[in-house]
Amino acid sequence: MKWDLLEKTTFWIEGIDLKDINLGKVADITADALGMKKDEIMVVDVRPGMLAFDILKRQIEAEAIAGKEKELLLRLKDLPGVILEPTATVHSEGVLGLIALGEQEASQVLLESKRIVDDVSRAVLKRAIVFASGSEVISGNIEDTNSPYIIKALEEAGFKAKFGGTLEDNDKIASSYIEAALEQGYGLVVTTGGVGAEDKDFSIEAIKRIDPEVATPWILKFKPDYHRHHKEGVCIAVGQSGIAKMVALPGPHEEAKLGCGRLIKGLQLGLEKTELAEYIASAIRQRWHEKMNKGGHRHEGKGHSN
């Protein structure tokens, strides 16, 4: 269980003195006792009766440090040049205060914290927000039928869903709205539209700004002509940020409906990012294949990511 130090990265030991000792060795022993790498902790202050450390990372494994005061002090005491008083104690103003807990107390704190984290995580994963996209929707030229449908489908599946507004045809601006939704505790962010091959389609690029390893399986592939088609084809996208997922579905209503159904089913099946993306894309791709075969057209419909 990772805990954020929230800028409180310092802890100190009172009742300790050093004599002719390499501070690097002190830091190494301390890092090892707290389950950290040697380059993740350093000694920052040495005074009579006091020794201070700084953690050089933002997050820590709570289980690695909780209740470790006794072990840390014993290991430092065995180091030549360390003089430890019987009353020596570890102090911190933040999360690092977990070090000073007794073993039983630490166990209880971790169990309770895990329960709270699990409860919060379950609540976050059931909070969804849906965005439309495109200047046509903003201008009122096209009615947004996707968002109401998806919100209703999500609510019927047990989500608390709301409409987040319409994203502009700009990856930076769209990405900022998606990121704000994640910061507000939404575990599922869905966009519709903006996944095509035109130069105004930016939903996938917006998610990619948050998750560079976003899964983007193809729906259709073709050669760009740079008049209308500026990309190699049409994709959907599934990105991940912490426990939250970001999903870009197509704009055509029947494809959005099909994608929404697969999204809900895939989440219920516990599919991870790449599997979920392909699960959604395969259904929409199959629909396109059937349409193309009926119409006598041919496009590539490969299922790999771009």
Contact 69, 105 (CB under 8 A): no
- Return the DSSP state at 98: G
Q: Are residues 245 and 140 in the same domain?
A: yes
- Return the DSSP state at 213: T
pLDDT digits (tens, 9 = 90+) for 217-240: 988 766 655 555 555 678 889 999
Smallest Cα–Cα separation from 56: which of 97, 5, 107? 5
User: 107 in a domain, yes or no?
Assistant: no
Q: Are residues 87 and 189 in the same domain?
A: no
d(CA 127, CA 159) in angstroms, rounded, equals 6
Task: Name the domain count of the chain.
Answer: 2
Start-end of H helices in 78-170? 103-125, 135-139, 146-156
Tokens, residue 280: 């959604």
pLDDT digits (tens, 9 = 90+) for 61-90: 877 788 889 999 999 999 999 999 999 999
Contact 195, 202 (CB under 8 A): no
User: 118 in a domain, yes or no?
Assistant: no
**Which CATH number covers residue 14?**
3.30.70
What is the pLDDT of the chain when averaged over all its residues? 84
Residue span of the structural domain in which 184 resides: 123-295
Q: Are residues 274 and 129 in the same domain?
A: yes
Q: Are residues 168 and 131 in the same domain?
A: yes
Q: Are residues 132 and 261 in the same domain?
A: yes
d(CA 201, CA 63) in angstroms, rounded, equals 45
Burial of 136 (0-12, 13-18, 19+ CB in 10 A): middle
User: 109 in a domain, yes or no?
Assistant: no
Predicted local distance difference test score (pLDDT) of residue 62: 76
User: 236 in a domain, yes or no?
Assistant: yes
pLDDT digits (tens, 9 = 90+) for 240-298: 998 999 999 998 899 999 999 999 999 999 999 999 999 999 999 888 777 777 765 54
Please state the three-class secondary structure of 178-209 as a single string: HHHHHHCCCCEEEEECCCCCCCCCCHHHHHHH
User: 114 in a domain, yes or no?
Assistant: no
304 has pLDDT over 50: no
pLDDT digits (tens, 9 = 90+) for 21-76: 999 999 999 999 999 899 999 999 999 999 999 988 878 787 778 888 999 999 99
Q: What is the phi/psi pair of residue 263, to 5°?
A: -60, -50
User: 300 in a domain, yes or no?
Assistant: no
How distant, in Å, are the alpha carbons of 26, 81, 119, 127, 129 from that of 188? Answer: 45, 54, 16, 6, 6
Q: Are residues 66 and 214 in the same domain?
A: no
More confident site: 155 or 300: 155
pTM of the model: 0.65
d(CA 128, CA 145) in angstroms, rounded, equals 17
